[in-house]
């Protein structure tokens, strides 16, 4: 346990340590799967917490909680986001409409969808 999640306040557990020339970087994950990167200097003085947005690009809509999705997206949008990620036929219009809601979804749940 190395701190608290900046999104949901639950405990962060460290996943990996990286050493660079100037600092230590520790990746961590909370119970709700939010990811963070914590920077320390070489003397282990805390510098800052960063959210790992880039790792979230791998998020698969099919794996997300359906109630979370339903609170923002319509069933047709959810179906086509999943189809698009799985390389199956989808309606372009539904993806466009869903894109307009990604920010709202990220604000509510701290999860960034990129399709
Ligand atoms: Zn969290």
The Cβ of residue 115 has, within 10 Å, a number of other Cβ atoms equal to: 16
Q: How far is the CA of 110 from the centre of ligand 1 (A)?
A: 8
DSSP state string for 14-74: EEEEEE-SSEEEEEEEETT--EEEEEEETT--EEEEEE-HHHHTT--GGGS-HHHHHTTS-
Q: How far is the CA of 91 from the centre of ligand 1 (A)?
A: 33
Q: What is the model's pTM?
A: 0.52
Q: How far is the CA of 36 from the centre of ligand 1 (A)?
A: 9
pLDDT by residue (tens digit) across 9-62? 999 998 878 888 888 888 888 988 888 888 899 999 999 887 765 444 567 898
Q: How far is the CA of 30 from the centre of ligand 1 (A)?
A: 5
Q: How far is the CA of 94 from the centre of ligand 1 (A)?
A: 29
pLDDT by residue (tens digit) across 78-114? 999 999 998 999 999 999 999 999 998 888 877 788 8
């Amino acid at each position: 346990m190395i701190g608290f999640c900046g999104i949901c306040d639950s405990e962060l557990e460290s996943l990996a340590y990286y050493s660079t020339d100037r600092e230590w970087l520790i990746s961590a994950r909370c119970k709700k799967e939010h990811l963070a990167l914590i920077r320390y200097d070489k003397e282990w003085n805390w510098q800052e917490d960063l959210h790992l947005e880039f790792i979230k690009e791998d998020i698969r809509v099919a794996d997300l909680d359906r109630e979370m999705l339903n609170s923002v997206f319509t069933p047709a949008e959810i179906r086509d986001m999943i189809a698009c990620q799985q390389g199956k036929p989808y309606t372009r219009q539904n993806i466009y409409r869903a894109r307009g809601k990604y920010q709202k979804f990220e604000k509510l749940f701290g999860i960034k969808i990129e399709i």
